[in-house]
Amino acid sequence: MQLSMSCSARVETRMELTVEQRAMAIQSHMLTLRLELTEALRGEKYLPWANCPACGKGLKPVEIIRGFKDDPNDFTTECPKCKHRFKANLRHYIRGDYAELPFYCASQVLAQLQPLVAVSIDEFKKKHPAIYYSAVVHHGTVRNAFQKIGIPYAFDETFDWKEKVKPFLGQLPDTIIAEVAGVCAATVRKFRKGRQIAACTRADMLENAVV
Ligand SMILES: [Zn+2]
């Protein structure tokens, strides 16, 4: 009884949101799960990180991404509170410690890829870590990112994905799980259906989002 009451209260809260607030809640929830899935698959955690130097606000990852201009030559994000523009970082956590790298937006990653087509995965990580890890956050794998600019990339990363994606089936769209795991969406769909888990909908994501 208590559970159903809290559930209906939550649905009511969601109904009061504007279209923009709902879109933001879904995008934020999807990004949180996506970063969790990336961590589960790779055993490493990545977190977009920014504190506004003008007003001190700590930006959420979704705010950092929304603050980018989608301009390959402008590396700044925008503070949603005071509108100051500054560069964000990507924290790469390894065994309790972290390294801080520049964080690029999805289109800045794509704009920098072409000259790196012959670079192997290991070399990519070592010599171009900011592009590599930003590519992972936005595009799942470097190979996916190359595919988006229509260039075949010869090096692949494979993950033992089936066990690791199980908690995310039905929580994230199959297309997102597939992108992060570096497999095709039809494979994820088949795997999910085989486990009799319903597909994720926007309504589910809004319901589960922290508002
Ligand atoms: Zn600010």
Written as one string, the DSSP assignment of 81-93 is TT--EEE-EEEEE
Kindly give the distance from the C-alpha atom of residue 50 to the centroid of ligand 1, in angstroms, as a whole number. 10
CA 18–ligand 1 middle distance (angstroms): 24
Say which residues have a Cβ less than 8 Å from residue 55's Cβ, sequence separation at least 6: 79, 81, 82, 84
Between CA 37 and CA 61 the distance in angstroms is 15
- Predicted structure pTM score: 0.89
Structure confidence at residue 208 (pLDDT): 86
Q: Which stretches of the chain drop beneath a pLDDT of 70? A: 1-13
SS3 35: helix
Q: Ligand 1 center to residue 79 CA distance, Å?
A: 5
* Centroid of ligand 1 to alpha carbon of 23 (angstroms): 22
Which pair of structure tokens corresponds to residue 143?
A: 């190979």
Q: What is the pLDDT of residue 162?
A: 95
Cα 67 to ligand 1 centroid, rounded to whole Å: 12
CA 91 to centroid of ligand 1, rounded, Å: 20
- For the stretch 150-197, pLDDT in tens is 999 999 898 999 999 999 999 999 999 999 999 999 999 999 999 999
57: left (phi over 0), alpha (psi -120 to 50) or beta: beta
Burial of 83 (0-12, 13-18, 19+ CB in 10 A): exposed
- Report how far apart, in Å, the C-alpha atoms of 175 and of each of 10, 140, 182, 192, 199 are: 27, 11, 10, 12, 11
Mean per-residue pLDDT over the chain, rounded? 92
- Residue 191 exposure: Cα atoms within 13 Å on the Cβ side: 22
CB-based neighbours (< 5 A) of ligand 1, an ion: 52, 54-55, 57, 79, 81-82, 84
What per-residue confidence (pLDDT) applies to 1? 38
If you measure from the C-alpha of residue 49 to the centroid of ligand 1, how many angstroms do you get, rounded to a whole number? 14
